[in-house]
A and B are shown apart, each in its own frame.
Chain A
Amino acid sequence: MEMDLSLDRQSREILATIKNFARKHSLWVVAYGTGCGAIEVPPTMTSRYDAERFGIRGAATPRQADVLLITGYLAVKTLKRVIRTYEQMQDPKYVIGFGSCTINGGMYWDSYNTIKLLDMYLPVDVFINGCMPRPEAVISGFIKLQQLIKEGKAEGAKKYKENLEWYRANQKKIIKNWRMPEYNW
């Protein structure tokens, strides 16, 4: 971050390790439950599977969240809201695509108003496939994200900022009535 500039390489690495350790063990999730996938989130969080033991916790608003969990298909209308939500989250932020629908459209592969590949519109760090993925699969997806964070490879937000024009073009191709600010951080 800003204050890292004054430090030498070794202390920067130590600082990054501490930060990544904290980030890895404290993932606050804002779950965007558009489709049927939302039904798998409550069992993941409650007493049967208890995701809180890994530090995974629901966040009340996008401002406080680290992970955007997109459960299931995204219609064109909801994609707009998801983009808004994603851009209001604070860095570093991650996206998890949940279910087959975010990968290739799943059972909505020939639908006229759902998107097929989420990665075209938002930078997805981890995909969890399955229709539906069970809570075990969801937790294993989170563990995968934790590994990526530990290795410093979960750079979706950075990719989004660098390729903003490409993402914007894709988004605007789908969303015809784009009445939003160009970027709402």
Chain B
Amino acid sequence: MDSTTIKILGFILTPIVAFVVGVLYGGIVRKITARIQNRVGPPVWQNLLDITKLYSKKTAIHHGVMQHLGPVFAITASVTSLFFIPVLKHSPLFTNLSFDGDLIFLLYMMVFGTLGMALGAGETGNPNAAIGVSRGLAMMVGYEIPFVLSLVALMIQFHTTSIHGLMEVQKGFSSWLIFQSPFAFLAGILAFLGMMHYAPFDVPIAPAELASGPVSEFGGKYLALMMTSGSIFTFAKLVLFTDIFLGGAEDLITLLIKTFALYMIPVITGIVNPRYRTEQAVRFFWKWPTVFGIIAILIVVL
């Protein structure tokens, strides 16, 4: 096959793989949550059934143009972010759009979906949605700072702004960046906890007090679109952190093992924790993760 055909195949295959893996991970998380709460729990493919059902629902809600565009923004941001992350290390099929400055691009692209959703939820006029949006944006300001500090530390240390460059640095197990720059990893993984929106950082969604926050006015196909986008974005974030800190993966099995291990950090934290208040969450992110990020940069510079 020539390179163009491989590229096109890659563009089709990557979102499908991301969706399937993301949805199954979601199902496994529901199962694990249930087992920890001493329940039987739904089957692993429950999320797929939920998404199918939501797509087959009729949707007759109209609050304005931005409300219709909000979920579209979310899924655009997820799929675009995914295209800039090399899923496998040396595979031409999964290279997609990754280029020399993709880390910087991702820093911008990963907040785009949240901002789009904020616009969409803002137009619904639901007070719960408005509170959820303001909480979500406040928390984003919180976790973006350690995340950026951690990535900047890596960029300075290895003089590269591409994920491929960072993967090339990690030749064997002992040279993974989790061991080479542990402080950057600590800052990154704590920011990652906030990004995944599991407890104690489920501040914007808060089902018990905000009635699911920004999505409270979105039902049917909108919710299906958002669940699809959420599954893809989960996979994208997991692959990004695996690529950067755990040395990436040569084949899909390794990738699944590494991403699953990484995914369990926010999930297990989430199951055994209650929810922070907004200011507690922001204070948390601006305390230890930020300190770790600054230490990581200082170590590299000095």
Inter-chain CA distance A50–B39, complex, in Å, is: 6
Inter-chain CA distance A22–B58, complex, in Å, is: 14
- In the complex, number of A-B residue pairs with CB atoms less than 8 Å apart: 86
Q: How many residues of B contact A (CB 8 A)?
A: 31
**B-side contacts of A22, CB under 8 Å:** 49-50, 52-53, 56
Residue from A23, A52, A64, A66 in contact with B212 in the complex, judged by beta carbons closer than 8 Å: A64
Cβ of A83 under 8 Å from chain B: no
**A-side contacts of B217, CB under 8 Å:** 61, 63
Inter-chain CA distance A91–B59, complex, in Å, is: 7
**A-side contacts of B53, CB under 8 Å:** 19, 22-23, 25-26, 66
Closest beta carbon of chain A to B222's beta carbon, Å: 9
- Among B128-173, those with CB < 8 Å from A are 128
Tell me if A53 and B37 are in contact (CB < 8 A): no
Tell me if B37 and A91 are in contact (CB < 8 A): no
Tell me if A60 and B34 are in contact (CB < 8 A): no
Would you call the interface of chain B mostly helix, strand, loop, or mixed? Answer: loop
Tell me if A1 and B56 are in contact (CB < 8 A): yes
Tell me if A90 and B59 are in contact (CB < 8 A): yes
Tell me if A60 and B56 are in contact (CB < 8 A): no
**A-side contacts of B128, CB under 8 Å:** 61
Cβ of A130 under 8 Å from chain B: no
**Residue ID in chain A nearest B128 by CB atoms:** A61
Inter-chain CA distance A22–B55, complex, in Å, is: 10
Binary B-proximity of A1-29 (CB < 8 A = 1, otherwise 0): 10000000000000000110111011000
Tell me if A64 and B219 are in contact (CB < 8 A): yes
Cβ of B40 under 8 Å from chain A: yes
Cβ of A177 under 8 Å from chain B: no
Binary B-proximity of A40-61 (CB < 8 A = 1, otherwise 0): 0000001100101101000011
A-B contact list, 28 entries, CB within 8 Å: A1-B56, A1-B58, A18-B52, A19-B52, A19-B53, A23-B53, A25-B49, A26-B50, A26-B53, A46-B39, A50-B40, A52-B30, A52-B41, A55-B42, A55-B46, A55-B50, A60-B207, A61-B211, A61-B212, A63-B217, A63-B220, A64-B212, A64-B219, A89-B219, A90-B59, A90-B219, A91-B58, A92-B58
